[in-house]
Structure 1
Amino acid sequence: MGFLKANKRLSHKIERTLGFFPASEIVDELVPEGRVADVGGGKQPLFEKTPAIRHYCGIDLDAEELARAPAGTYDETIVADITRYRGNGDFDMLICRSTLEHVKDTEKAIKGLMSLLAPGGIGYLVVPSRNSVFSYINRLMPESAKRRLLFALYPAKQTDGFPAFYDRTTPHEVSAMIEAQGGTVDQVNKIYFSGYFTFFTPLHVLWRGAAMVQKATNPNYCERFEMIFRKDSAPQTR
């Protein structure tokens, strides 16, 4: 493991020199209060329960993931597929991090997310991009091979590893889906750093070269993106 750690340190040093690491996060601008829904957070909710959060609801497809959250975090848990679940529009804020890449129909998932928010409610997304180098590899490799490789390189992830589809997970397409559901996108932060190849610096350098070519030629490229949006109205009819 010393070899892997040394490579990760060197890879991170390269990224700092290039200005890609650490990645800035707009999550620091969020002020959670009122009724908050955390979709797909499972065992790792974004926020701790505070007096400002009157009601914290965890929504996840996996009941075991929800059960592993820190005790007392969630006031309510709902086991549901966000592509099928429809809420009552009574949450002031929703969080959805690294979840949309795992759904087969992102448009249906966005409808589910928007159904949770009250008018004026704020949403925060973190979405791995369909255009990232890793997503191409992820879609090409058999699921069993991906899991073996992931767990060998990152033992802490042995309780993770859900299939990923990356259906239309680009900043442009997700923004359009939100707007079609009566939302307004206030901020988009494209992140160009990825840690997947840092375990072996020569491979990371190769990835960085390919990523820089993508960044120069594809305006919709990023490794992942953050988005803050708000719900303004009822969805558009088509």
Structure 2
Amino acid sequence: MRGARPIDQEANRLGENVVPGRSPAGPRLVEPPAPRRSALARELRRFINANRSASHEVNKLCAERLGRVDGSSQFPRHLDRLLRPAMRVVDLGGGKHPAISPEQKQRLGLHVVGVDISSRELEQAPAGAYDEAVEADASSFVRPGSADLVLAQALTEHVKDTRAMWRSIYATLVPGGRTLHFIPNGRALFARLNRLLPEEAKRFLLYRIYPESVQYLGFPAFYDRCSPGETRRVLREVGFRQVRIQPYYSSNYFAFLLPAHLANVSLQLLAQAAEDEDRCQSFVVEAMK
């Protein structure tokens, strides 16, 4: 929160000379000095970091003993399995964080078209990441029969009409082409909270709890048909075949407070044990035209 203007700065603006801690009208109490507020912020940051560190250890234990892993970290493995030399690829919503590195692109001789709703995001992509950068909405971008692979990582939840997006992808793919997406589950607790909180409130909290999120957040999330079951149904209605969904039962949205993280992990492990894919935290979907 932006602090009030110090009283001596206000007096200087008025052309008056005052002693720090006094107003032009006489002595009075003023706000606590900035160093005290900074000390409180530092203590809060230490508390959050300690909780995040402990939550990380919980995740490590669950990964080692129960095979519980985060879906976002597994997306590159799914992508590597599909990539072939000289493929024509469309990266939807990659922006400044393309799913395929310039080095991998060059090594395989790929032709990559980057599509993002923000030209500013595309301009910040690493040099050589895209052969072509296109400012367009994922639900309306269509280049009939031009791509062997259309991929997106954490884009689908930001699309207002996912059915239109899947239709556009289907039209863009060549026969036998594939699409690959990493999608946060719209039925997960964090997604439900995301929809309830006002956009400004979400950014305020996330930027202070997870400062690194400034590099990745910025677009509102709608979670339109973003559960595994809904996604499978829409893909088949559009015409895709060989629809494969890999659910993941791990997320770190509550890692800033260890008790909340432990409670969430317990729910995730129960869903994983029950193989309830619609209660997963995220999933990777692959389908063929």
The answer to which of 66-75 and 48-57 deviates more is: 48-57
Alignment of 1:30-179 (within 5 A): 30-33=82-85, 34-48=87-101, 49-159=105-215, 160-179=217-236
Amino acid at match of 1:110: W
Match among 54, 71, 79 for residue 27 of structure 1: 79
Asked if structure 2 preserves the Cα contact closer than 8 Å seen for 1:197 and 1:204, the reply is yes
Unaligned runs of 5+ in 1: 232-238
Aligned length: 231
Match of 1:228 in 2: 286
- Higher helix proportion (structure 1 or 2): 2
Match of 1:3 in 2: 47
Q: TM-score, normalised by structure 2?
A: 0.74
Q: TM-score, normalised by structure 1?
A: 0.89
Shift of 1:51: 4.2
Asked if structure 2 preserves the Cα contact closer than 8 Å seen for 1:35 and 1:53, the reply is no
Deviation track 1:129-163 (CA, whole Å, cap 9, x = no partner) reads 11111001001111110010011112122242211
Structure with the greater relative contact order (CA < 8 A, sep ≥ 6): 1 or 2?
1
Shift of 1:184: 1.6
Shift of 1:22: 5.2
Deviation track 1:173-193 (CA, whole Å, cap 9, x = no partner) reads 112222222212343110110
Match of 2:59 in 1: 15
The answer to which of 8-17 and 187-196 deviates more is: 8-17
Compute the RMSD of aligned alpha carbons.
Answer: 2.0
Structure 1 pair 52–219 and aligned structure 2 pair: CA distance change class (3 A): closer
Q: Which one has a bigger Cα radius of gyration?
A: 2
SS in 1 for 2:110: strand
Amino acid at match of 1:5: N
Shift of 1:62: 0.6
Asked if structure 2 preserves the Cα contact closer than 8 Å seen for 1:131 and 1:221, the reply is yes
Shift of 1:8: 2.0
Shift of 1:42: 0.6
Equivalents in 1 of 2:198, 2:243: separation in Å?
A: 37
Match of 2:10 in 1: none
Asked if structure 1 preserves the Cα contact closer than 8 Å seen for 2:228 and 2:277, the reply is no
Equivalents in 2 of 1:35, 1:217: separation in Å?
A: 35
Asked if structure 1 preserves the Cα contact closer than 8 Å seen for 2:69 and 2:248, the reply is no
Equivalents in 1 of 2:113, 2:229: separation in Å?
A: 29
Unaligned runs of 5+ in 2: 1-44
Shift of 1:15: 2.5
The answer to which of 161-170 and 3-12 deviates more is: 3-12
The answer to which of 21-30 and 71-80 deviates more is: 21-30
Shift of 1:208: 2.1
Equivalents in 2 of 1:229, 1:181: separation in Å?
A: 11
SS in 2 for 1:220: helix
Task: Tell me the percent identity.
Answer: 34
Amino acid at match of 1:223: Q
Deviation track 1:7-60 (CA, whole Å, cap 9, x = no partner) reads 222212222333223557233423244111100111111112224233110001
